[in-house]
A and B are shown apart, each in its own frame.
Chain A
Amino acid sequence: MSDRRRFVQVIQENEGIIFKVANIYAREGEDQKDLYQEIVYQLWRSFKSFQGKSKISTWIYRVALNTAIRHMNQLRKKASYVSMNSDLMDLYEEQDAETEERMTMLYEQIKQLNVVERGIILLHLEGKSYQEIGSITGFTPSNVGTRLSRIRNKLSAQIKNMNHGSG
């Protein structure tokens, strides 16, 4: 099987990861689609050098999160942008209203966290162990635990504020 064929298969099996990272780190709309494409492109660039030393999902999370950080730190927004293939525009537009609402609420909470916390909470929600989160992020497993407990408190406070605001 050619590299490109294998790559396509890997992306299809893991497209949910890319979708979630783009949702968490980019603003809605064009920015998310731009990040989505950039992640796929960066994955392709490093695909040949991926030697299977780690799990494929670990590699995807690492590249996706790092690309998201780079995307967020772009120096001037809208410096150059060529619109994407029109088929890709549909990637984000086919949700039913209820799913859309639940998803928006969830992502809104996560997006209030800082860049580091967003990465950790994503990996935690994806069911990764402290050890795995540590190997992707570079924090020690015990530090991951401490950070998650801080995130838990922060989220509680956020939700409390939200309830006060709406009540």
Chain B
Amino acid sequence: MDLDEMKLLWDDLSEQRDQQQRLTDTMIVDMTKRTYHSKLRSIAFFETIGAIFCFGLAAVLIWNWYKLDTWYLIGSGLFSMLILTVMPILSLNTIYQMQGIRLAESPFRQTVDRYTRLKKRFFLIQQLMIGMSFIFAVVAIPLAGKIMSGKDIFLNHRTLIFAFVGCVGLFFFVRWGYRKYVNMADSAEEILRELQQE
């Protein structure tokens, strides 16, 4: 079957399908109401809730900043601030840009280009966030200990064991996440290259 035969078959099938009008008025009206949630919208909702939680934690950290009295606690505090503020903003920004694409006006080529780039970016941010959250899990314990009870447990025996376990986990995650990202980025690049072809 070549393209011309395909076209004949297509016309035949289209004709058959056009004869069977299936959508009733009620079905169409139902579809114009938001009877289900778009996936993108629900992702935006959960990311927003997550971001608010992160900002709340960042506020608690700033409020108690004076309690961080050693270089390693201050370093942990700075790292935590970075994770709690910058990463959620980057992630939300990408999602809102995805939602902002005007589906009725953008030519197809532009839509493919923008979604491919944004998805690639979102995926990278997600991988970074999960990776960084392993480190965050390690530094958050001594930070919480200092802020809540005033005790410096940074070099505590249990904290060090936890840090070691966290690092092993991080290693495997990063290896897995990197491979996944490379696969995803490769296919995105292929689409972008295809769009540029003349």
Contact = CB atoms under 8 A, between A and B. Distances in A.
Nearest to A120: B108
B172 to A, nearest CB: 22
A20 to B, nearest CB: 8
B18 A16 contact: yes
Contacts of B23: 11-12, 15, 91
Given A16-B14, A46-B104, A70-B101, A109 B1 contact: yes
A127 to B, nearest CB: 8
Interface residues of B, number: 61
A125 B36 contact: no
A27 interface: no
Nearest to B112: A69
A62 B108 contact: yes
A13 to B, nearest CB: 9
B39 A74 contact: yes
Given A62-B104, A62-B108, A114 B28 contact: no
B59 interface: no
Contacts of B13: 99, 102-103, 106
B191 A115 contact: yes
Contacts of B98: 70, 73, 75
A105 to B, nearest CB: 8
Q: Which of B38, B41, B190 has the most CB of A within 10 A?
A: B38
Nearest to A61: B108
Interface stretch (B68-76, B114-122, B162-170): B114-122
A14 to B, nearest CB: 10
A63 B103 contact: yes
A122 to B, nearest CB: 9
A16 to B, nearest CB: 5
A127 B118 CA distance: 32
A73 B111 CA distance: 11
A77 B28 contact: no
A44 B31 contact: yes
A118 to B, nearest CB: 10
B149 interface: no
Nearest to B20: A94
A37 B36 contact: yes
Interface in B44-95: 46, 95
Contacts of A109: 1, 6
A2 to B, nearest CB: 11
Contact of A85 (B27, B106, B107, B108): B27
Interface of B: 1-3, 6-7, 9-11, 13-14, 16-18, 20-32, 34-43, 46, 95, 98, 101, 103-112, 115-116, 118-119, 122, 190-191, 194-195, 197-198
25 contacts: A7-B28, A12-B21, A12-B23, A12-B25, A16-B18, A37-B31, A62-B105, A62-B106, A66-B104, A67-B103, A73-B98, A73-B119, A75-B40, A75-B98, A80-B37, A82-B36, A83-B36, A99-B13, A114-B190, A116-B108, A116-B195, A125-B10, A127-B11, A135-B107, A138-B110
